[in-house]
């Protein structure tokens, strides 16, 4: 396997899934719930970012672990969408996330914690990642770190990428996030919960959120993009003295899956294309608004 030199970003999707949406009339506790229909598509945060990157006109490349029949299903679906993939083979099958969509009431999401990487697979994964690096390439590390991988895997990846003069973007959570931000990615994208998790306390006001994002930016030396769901977003760069708040686009919400991934894809595309920073957040929030206005796993029609 050799690195792609065509200029597209590498999106590392270590925790992909087949997303299965079950449409039900209503969720009732302690009662049988009949599933009226099922729809399946390749999912997980990294794949969502790649999907939106391509919709925005780019040519991303996915490093994606796949295993079993569900892994083959995922890979076939990714390729049908025109996404370029570097499959990394696993012994255990790719997981299936279940999204329960009632006709009335909020969606439910059920996400398995498998597959598990063996020690040998974890070592080979680092080798596969290393072959994709070259100077100037953008690397986007997107999604929760699988439980079986070392908690500093993303931190190691960022160090490896920095040695090859790559630019890295990070979107994960928890201890993996805390360790990885110490390696100075160019941009990190916590949501409001993840920012509070990193700060170690509840952030009860916008001022507290801005202060935490500024502290995080000082630690990374780069950009902090905070997704705030229906409230919009916050973009901070402490070194540049840059702070921008922007409200979410008003749309009819059809689903809650993938808005942050669309936001990240659009902001990173704008960065790469040399768009002024004042416009990045607006581009991102418009993409996020489009994401929630369509069914999960779908893309809007081009205007």
pLDDT tens string, the chain, 303 residues long: the values are 344 444 589 999 999 999 999 999 999 888 899 999 999 999 999 999 999 999 999 999 999 999 999 999 999 999 999 999 999 999 999 999 999 989 888 888 899 999 999 999 999 999 999 999 999 999 999 999 999 999 999 999 999 999 999 999 999 999 999 999 999 999 999 999 999 999 999 999 999 999 999 999 999 999 999 999 999 999 999 999 999 999 999 999 888 788 999 999 999 999 999 999 999 999 999 999 999 999 888 999 886
Looking up residue 216, the CATH number of its domain turns out to be 3.40.1190.20
Residue 301 lies inside a defined structural domain of this protein: no
194-201's contacts with Cβ under 8 Å and 24+ in sequence apart are 195/226, 197/173
With 0-12 / 13-18 / 19 or more C-beta atoms within 10 angstroms meaning exposed / middle / buried, residue 274 is: exposed
Residue 86 lies inside a defined structural domain of this protein: yes
**DSSP annotation of 48:** H
3-state secondary structure of 8: coil
Residue 32 lies inside a defined structural domain of this protein: no
- Whether omega for the bond prior to residue 115 falls within 30 degrees of 0, making it cis, is yes
Residue 174 lies inside a defined structural domain of this protein: yes
What residues have CB less than 8 Å from 235, skipping those under 6 apart?
Answer: 223, 224, 225, 226, 242, 243, 244, 246, 267, 277, 280, 281
| Cα distance between residue 146 and residue 161, in whole Å | 20
The model's pTM is 0.93
* pLDDT reported for residue 25: 93
Domain that holds residue 219: 10-16+43-94+116-292
Residue 102 lies inside a defined structural domain of this protein: no
Residue 145 lies inside a defined structural domain of this protein: yes
* pLDDT reported for residue 7: 59
DSSP codes of every residue in 193-209: HHHHHHHTS---SHHHH
Residue 110 lies inside a defined structural domain of this protein: no
| Cα distance between residue 92 and residue 65, in whole Å | 10
Q: Strands, DSSP E only, in 238-294?
A: 242-246
Residue 241 lies inside a defined structural domain of this protein: yes
| Cα distance between residue 118 and residue 121, in whole Å | 5
* Number of domains into which the chain is organized: 1
At 172, phi and psi to the nearest 5?
A: -150, -165
């Amino acid at each position: 396997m050799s690195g792609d030199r065509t200029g597209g970003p590498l999106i590392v999707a270590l925790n992909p899934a087949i997303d299965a949406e079950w449409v039900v009339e209503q969720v009732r506790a302690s009662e049988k719930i009949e599933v009226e229909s099922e729809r399946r598509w390749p999912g997980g945060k990294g794949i969502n970012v790649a999907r939106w990157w391509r919709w925005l006109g780019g040519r991303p490349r996915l490093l994606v672990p796949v295993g079993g029949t569900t892994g083959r299903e995922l890979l076939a679906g990714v390729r049908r969408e025109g996404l370029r993939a570097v499959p990394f083979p696993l012994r255990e099958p790719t997981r299936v996330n279940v999204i329960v969509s009632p006709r009335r009431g909020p969606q439910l999401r059920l996400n398995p914690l498998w597959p598990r990487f063996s020690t040998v697979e974890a070592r080979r994964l680092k080798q596969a990642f290393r072959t994709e690096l070259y100077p100037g390439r953008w690397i986007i590390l997107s999604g929760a770190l699988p439980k079986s991988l070392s908690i500093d895997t993303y931190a190691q990846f960022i160090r490896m990428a920095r040695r090859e003069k790559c630019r890295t973007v990070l979107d994960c959570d928890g201890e993996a996030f805390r360790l990885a931000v110490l390696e100075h990615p160019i941009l990190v994208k916590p949501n409001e919960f993840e920012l509070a998790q990193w700060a170690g306390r509840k952030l009860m006001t916008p001022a507290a959120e801005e202060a935490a994002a500024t502290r995080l930016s000082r630690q990374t030396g780069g950009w902090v993009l905070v997704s705030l769901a229906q409230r919009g977003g916050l973009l901070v760069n402490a070194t540049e003295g840059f702070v921008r708040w922007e409200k979410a686009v008003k749309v009819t919400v059809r689903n809650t899956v993938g808005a942050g991934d669309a936001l990240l894809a659009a902001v990173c595309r704008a960065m790469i294309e040399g768009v002024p920073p004042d416009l990045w957040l607006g581009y991102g929030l418009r993409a996020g608004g489009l994401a929630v206005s369509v069914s999960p796993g779908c893309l809007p029609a081009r205007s």
